[in-house]
Copies of this chain bind each other. A is one copy, B any other.
């Protein structure tokens, strides 16, 4: 769970179809793909998960499913990302088993402290910045909020919400183990280049003498 994390959004894919975007991000070293679908039926969601799994599996890039444990189980995905209105962590873990990747969104400080006692694989700090893609989220954490969580939490932090080329370096310096992006990759003219540049901020920030 280090590096650039892609959250899919069909509607954000402006220049290429989603399969092309994902293939390009694989070439550029994406660390994980989260398949997020809203307002589609279960059969269509499952078919998209199976198609995505077929793209990612040869490269051993993990696929996780937003919210739907049944889709994860039926598609052979590696886990789920759950929010505070989705299945409770304990139920998801029981159904998916000890080896599944389970990420949990934290939107309030109480969410952060509650997550401390859970064996989640990461917490999704959401949103870092305000974003048009998701409208049902709480107040943005900002860089200061992310730093506060970094100092407290025992979990890897996936930062999500409004992250793009202009602010990714700051987010990584503030403690993000991974940055999750939607439109910064899906809407890019060159998804390979976008992923590669986002990833480069991890390499840069890992060399303190170059980035004091």
Contacts and interface: CB of A to CB of B under 8 A. Distances in A.
A95 B41 CA distance: 18
A4 interface: no
A147 interface: no
Nearest to A72: B70
A135 to B, nearest CB: 15
A107 to B, nearest CB: 14
Interface stretch (A80-88, A111-119, A172-180): A80-88
A42 interface: yes
B44 A91 contact: no
Nearest to A85: B41
Contact of A73 (B71, B88, B95): B95
Stoichiometry (number of copies): 2
A203 interface: no
A36 B171 CA distance: 42
A106 interface: no
A22 to B, nearest CB: 23
Contacts of A53: none
Contact of A86 (B41, B69, B91, B94): B41
A68 interface: yes
Contacts of A88: 43, 46
Nearest to A67: B42
Which has the most chain B C-beta neighbours within 10 Å: A46, A68, A71, A73? A73
A165 interface: no
A74 interface: yes
A91 to B, nearest CB: 4
Nearest to A41: B85
Interface in A22-75: 41-44, 46, 67-71, 73-74
Interface of A: 41-44, 46, 67-71, 73-74, 84-88, 91, 94-95
